[in-house]
Chain A
Amino acid sequence: MTTEKASYIGFTCAYTPLALIDAAGYVPYRILPMGDAPDMAGQLLHDNLCPHVKRVLDRAMDNDLPELAGVVLLNSCDAMRRLADVWPKVRPKDRVILIDLPITSDDPAVSYFGRELSRLADTLFQWGERPVTQETVAASIDRYNQVALLFGSLRERLRNGGVSGGAARLQSLYNRAVTQPWDETFQFLEGVAEETNTPSVGQNGVPIFLFGNVLPDPEAFGLFESCGVRIVDEDLCTGSRVFAPIKMEKSEETLSQLARGILRRPRCARTLLTTQPGVLAAEVLARAAECKARGVIACSAKFCDPYIARIPGVRETLRKAGLPLLHIEGDCTMRSFGQQRTRIQAFTEMLRR
């Protein structure tokens, strides 16, 4: 595969079935909200809309994208759905498909999502390359689980202070992994795994659990470390969530397994558990306790309704458990992040006492 010219499929959401795209013979390419494209998306959408979606659209409007064989968008939230509506106006030659994403993960939702994945598989085949089979999907899921394992070990090493370049480097590895062919990703991750443990920056930092949605800029992690934060675990959709392992249950048909596995991975705030409304709060607390964090930082994109609505509940749950929360809302880039320096420093000073 590495000798052929890679055929990229653009995607934007961590719920995207990367293994399915891989099985269909494509390289999933995450359109990260980075780069210098001018701010133009507000003209087509609205200024007060998710900056993640706007930056992605800015890149599309500025043609700051590699050649794409197609784009797979997910109906994960209102902003993403509007992105799908507007995309054909900006890049009329692109082949685009919008896949519906359930907001729960019960059995009917899994079946429904399985049917959507089947539709995606058919569409990817129509776009060229090859048809997927149970075997090729299973093989791809396995490949991505291997990458997930490697990232898992890296996170473990980082927690114990052993990744050169620290959290910033880990983030840059995530960014590479979502924009490069699987083979290259696997190779460089194996290479990193073989590096001897080197103490990373910020070992004296206060242990923090970081969660939220979109924060792809490695510089942001460098900023955290320079403010005295040691990220001992992270749950971001530009980080560990996109490479969370997919649990496979052999009794089920492969696309159903994939559907179930994706829906039941660590959640974005938009996914509910009907039996436990507001479960995100309990999950954040559990993760923070597990990694022995002394505080929690939530990083979300401004105007993100799923996170806006759940953060107060998370804050309350953490407060009852004696864990302070710092919530940072930004435009997913360093532009807004730099202004947060003082708040982050004050937070760590408070935790050190």
Chain B
Amino acid sequence: MMKQLFDDMAADMEARLLDHYTARLRFTLENARLCQRLYSDTHRLAWCGVCAPFDLLNAMGISSCFVEYLGAVFAAAGSAGQFLEEAEHAGFPTDSCGWHRAVIGAAAKGMMPIPDVMIATSSPCTGGVAAVEHLARTFDCPLYVLAIPPDDSESSVRYLADQIRHMVDFVSAHTGEALDDDRLRYAMHKTNEAREAAIEMFHLAQRIPSPARAADLRNFGITLPLFLGTEAAVEIAQAYRDEFAARSGQGISGVQGERFRLMWLQEAIQFRHPLIKMLEENYQAAIVIEELDDIYWEPIDAEDPYIGLAQRTIAFPFNGQADRRLKHIKKLVQAYKIDGAINPCHWGCRQGTGARGLIGEALKELDVPVINLEVDCADARNFSEGQLRTRLEAFMEVLDSRPGRRSTN
């Protein structure tokens, strides 16, 4: 059933692309294709934590994703509710992260393809490790753990690089897929090419007014890692770059009459909701960037990639102590000239919501207001539209009344 859904989705995207090529469609198509592979029964599969080096797995011909990705796919398709309910019936209280509960519930209902290997990553969160461990038990599947140090000292980088190397051996041993030097080199070159194009694309998004809007960039930064190491990632990033450049050149902004530039933190609400449209139409507020829409890592040395991959993994903004994340948020605020930030305090997310106070303080230093939304990004059943709308509207009223408010009209 899921396979059919993704087959139909991919076919639809392909047809629409022929008609009118857009970066967003191309990106959506790649997501559909990944889901097709994940549900195909003909590919080697790895379910992972958020910080696994997906480009390496792509180089080995393994189809993979972080488990939360599937949770988000279910939520976007409007089918997370039944899986969340299943997880609750199985004894997982609603206190924990909905992404994890959704995949645990889907697995309990037999709606998750059985993986060949599982790779837990200690970052960004404890809940993620627990979910992967649970799934490894459910599927009776070999489990590898990537322990990601919080610091980037030489010994920590080496420690992680060694683990990544052993991960390749582990995956090879359990799938029969090898990683030869040529495939590795190719993948790293593709990763770097995509990186270049993404940097250009983000640079364009920083323009005032921004050629970007929420619908373009939603989930981009968070899912790009899944396609790294492949030509697809390069195509997608270049398509966005070219589109933003064209729009910018023609004086077309993502939100017409852009009056406010907003940053959306952590992750998007995955199910359909009217809040972004409300912000765009009622306030001409553009969400010009999501927190993970950024290249925060250096190009990977294709001849000796493990050190570079380890450094990239450690540099993940949500890794380690909050300082790293706060520095990253401040950098984006300044680069994108952000007027205000929206912090969806995702229900059940401890590492994220635990930083709520610190984020508020850090943004106060830059005189940028932030609105905290208490929302479950995965569970449409729990969505209080009226309450969230009130908070966002009040927030926009605050932004609108600030002295010296910049207008792009």
Residue positions of A touching B, CB distance < 8 A: 43-46, 48-50, 75, 77-79, 81-82, 84-86, 89, 98, 100, 102-104, 108-109, 112, 115, 269-270, 272, 274-275, 277-278, 302-303, 305-306, 308-313, 315, 329
Residues of A within 8 A of B145 (CB): 103-104, 272, 274
User: Is B353 a contact of A48 with CB atoms below 8 Å?
Assistant: yes
Output the nearest chain A residue to B148 by Cβ-Cβ distance: A100
Contact of A44 among B92, B93, B357 (CB under 8 A): B357
Query: In the assembly, what is the distance between CA of A28 and CA of B293, in Å?
Result: 44
Contact of A48 among B90, B95, B321, B323 (CB under 8 A): B95
Task: Supply 8 further A-B pairs (C-beta < 8 A) apart from A78-B351, A108-B163.
Answer: A45-B357, A86-B357, A103-B129, A272-B129, A277-B134, A277-B143, A309-B133, A329-B93
Smallest beta-carbon distance A224→chain B, Å: 22
User: CB within 8 Å of A: which of B349-379?
Assistant: 350-351, 353-358, 361
User: Is A270 a contact of B137 with CB atoms below 8 Å?
Assistant: no
Query: In the assembly, what is the distance between CA of A102 and CA of B149, in Å?
Result: 9
User: Is B95 a contact of A115 with CB atoms below 8 Å?
Assistant: no
Residues of A within 8 A of B96 (CB): 305, 308-309
Residues of A within 8 A of B127 (CB): 78, 305, 309
Residues of A within 8 A of B155 (CB): 115
Query: In the assembly, what is the distance between CA of A43 and CA of B360, in Å?
Result: 11
Smallest beta-carbon distance B298→chain A, Å: 23
Residues of A within 8 A of B361 (CB): 89
User: Is A78 a contact of B321 with CB atoms below 8 Å?
Assistant: no
Closest 9 pairs (CB-CB, A-B): A82-B354, A309-B130, A312-B91, A278-B137, A46-B353, A78-B350, A85-B322, A277-B136, A78-B351
User: Is B147 a contact of A85 with CB atoms below 8 Å?
Assistant: no
Cβ-based interface call for B238 (8 A): no
Q: B98-134, CB under 8 A of A: which get 1 and which 0?
A: 0010000000000000000000101001110111011
Contact of B130 among A75, A82, A109, A305 (CB under 8 A): A305
- In this complex, which of A49, A103, A329 has the most chain B Cβ atoms within 10 angstroms of its Cβ? A103
User: Is A104 a contact of B130 with CB atoms below 8 Å?
Assistant: no
Contact of B126 among A274, A306, A312, A329 (CB under 8 A): A306
Smallest beta-carbon distance B289→chain A, Å: 23
Contact (A302, B358) CB under 8 Å given A84-B321, A277-B136: no
Output the nearest chain B residue to A45 by Cβ-Cβ distance: B354
Query: In the assembly, what is the distance between CA of A86 and CA of B361, in Å?
Result: 11
Smallest beta-carbon distance A38→chain B, Å: 17
Classify chain B: how many residues form its interface, as a range. 35 or more
Residues of B within 8 A of A85 (CB): 321-323, 354-355, 358
Query: In the assembly, what is the distance between CA of A43 and CA of B155, in Å?
Result: 37
Query: In the assembly, what is the distance between CA of A75 and CA of B127, in Å?
Result: 14
Cβ-based interface call for B159 (8 A): yes
User: Is A82 a contact of B129 with CB atoms below 8 Å?
Assistant: no
Residues of A within 8 A of B348 (CB): 48
Residues of B within 8 A of A305 (CB): 96-97, 125-127, 130, 350
Residues of B within 8 A of A48 (CB): 95, 347-348, 353
Contact (A109, B91) CB under 8 Å given A49-B353, A85-B355, A278-B137: no
Output the nearest chain A residue to B155 by Cβ-Cβ distance: A115
Output the nearest chain B residue to A269 by Cβ-Cβ distance: B130
Smallest beta-carbon distance B323→chain A, Å: 7
Query: In the assembly, what is the distance between CA of A277 and CA of B145, in Å?
Result: 11
User: Is A306 a contact of B90 with CB atoms below 8 Å?
Assistant: no
Residues of B within 8 A of A312 (CB): 90-92
Output the nearest chain B residue to A79 by Cβ-Cβ distance: B350
Q: Can you list 13 contacts pairing A with B, beta carbon distance less than 8 Å? A: A44-B357, A46-B350, A77-B350, A81-B321, A82-B355, A85-B354, A102-B122, A109-B147, A272-B120, A277-B137, A305-B126, A309-B96, A315-B91
Output the nearest chain B residue to A276 by Cβ-Cβ distance: B137
Smallest beta-carbon distance B321→chain A, Å: 5
Residues of A within 8 A of B149 (CB): 100, 112
Cβ-based interface call for B150 (8 A): yes
Cβ-based interface call for B171 (8 A): no
- In this complex, which of B120, B320, B354 has the most chain A Cβ atoms within 10 angstroms of its Cβ? B354
User: Is A311 a contact of B91 with CB atoms below 8 Å?
Assistant: yes
Contact (A77, B126) CB under 8 Å given A49-B350, A277-B143, A303-B350: yes
Cβ-based interface call for B144 (8 A): yes
User: Is A75 a contact of B147 with CB atoms below 8 Å?
Assistant: no
Residues of B within 8 A of A82 (CB): 322, 350-351, 354-355
Contact (A306, B130) CB under 8 Å given A78-B351, A274-B145: yes
Contact of B125 among A78, A86, A109, A278 (CB under 8 A): A78
Output the nearest chain A residue to B150 by Cβ-Cβ distance: A100
Residues of A within 8 A of B162 (CB): 108
Query: In the assembly, what is the distance between CA of A310 and CA of B130, in Å?
Result: 8
User: Is A309 a contact of B134 with CB atoms below 8 Å?
Assistant: yes
